[in-house]
Amino acid sequence: MESATKIEPDKQRVQDMFAIAEQRDQVALARLFDHYAPKIRSFCLAAQPGANLMADDIAQEVMIRIWNKAHTYKPEAASLNTWVFTIARNARIDYLRKNSRYQSDIDPEYLWQNIIDENSDPFQDAQQKRDQQMIQQSLKKLPVDQRQVLSKVYLEGKTHKEAAEELSLPLGTIKSRVRLALQKLTIYVKR
């Protein structure tokens, strides 16, 4: 009986988001912190190994943004994980552009703000869910070498070129691994 009343963790987190948006519920925020802060730190440490202060700083920054932007989260437009990932990605870019050798005055806020949630209709929402499941399932079956390259790009923040140099492989090999992987995940279809 207990399992029937137990709510799935993913759904619980979406409810926590509503509680934050509507009631400014700090207990719900604490639960999200416990789940996401370690992931955000790992995501940062993947790009800058050993940079614990940076990881702590970005983890806090992302959680603050979640608190401040909670009312803009729409579950039908993106899963919570995707939403948090994009915030973490942008916060990491923002930190690196201000604090590293890749200094830049281009504000990332202008570059990723308009993509999500503009055209939401029931048909597209359903399609979105299917895409999500498809990606989730096929990712599990991906060969190690393909997954490794995806991790380099997404988690370590390396470009294809940099990934090639680091793995001592020709750029063409990296490209074809990524393309193969994206084909299996049905993200990439040859035009």
Partner 1 sequence: MTHYHPSIETLTDYAAGALPLSHSLCVSTHLEHCPECQQQVKKLEMLGAQLFEQNRMPPQELRHLKDQFFARLEQQDTSADTSLTTKTVERIEDNGYQIPKSLRQFITKGYDDLTWMHLSPSFKIATLHNEEGGAQIALTRVKAGAHMPTHTHTGDEITLVLEGAFSDETGIYRQGDFISRDARHKHKPIVTKDAECICLTVLDAPIEFTGWFTRLLNPILRRYHPHTSL
Residue of 58, 63, 73, 146 that binds partner 1 (CB under 8 A): 63
Give least dist CB 165 to partner 1, A: 13
Using CB under 8 A as the binding rule, whether residue 160 contacts partner 1 is answered as: yes
Residue of 11, 22, 23, 64 that binds partner 1 (CB under 8 A): 64
Q: Contact letters (x/-) for partner 1, 12-31, by CB under 8 A?
A: --------------x--xx-
Q: By C-alpha distance, which of 91, 29, 30 is closest to 61?
A: 91
Using CB under 8 A as the binding rule, whether residue 150 contacts partner 1 is answered as: yes
Q: Considering only 1-9, 12-20, 83-91, which stretch makes contact with partner 1 by CB under 8 A? A: 83-91
Residue of 14, 155, 167, 180 that binds partner 1 (CB under 8 A): 155
Q: By C-alpha distance, which of 10, 39, 46 is closest to 150?
A: 46
Give least dist CB 187 to partner 1, A: 4
**What are the two backbone dihedrals, phi and then psi, of residue 100, each rounded to the nearest 5 degrees?**
-125, -175
Site for partner 1 in 107-126 (CB under 8 A): 107-116, 119
Site size with partner 1, rule: CB under 8 A? 75
Neighbour count for residue 160 (Cβ, 10 Å): 14
Using CB under 8 A as the binding rule, whether residue 148 contacts partner 1 is answered as: no
Using CB under 8 A as the binding rule, whether residue 82 contacts partner 1 is answered as: yes
Q: Tokens for 167? A: 């793995």
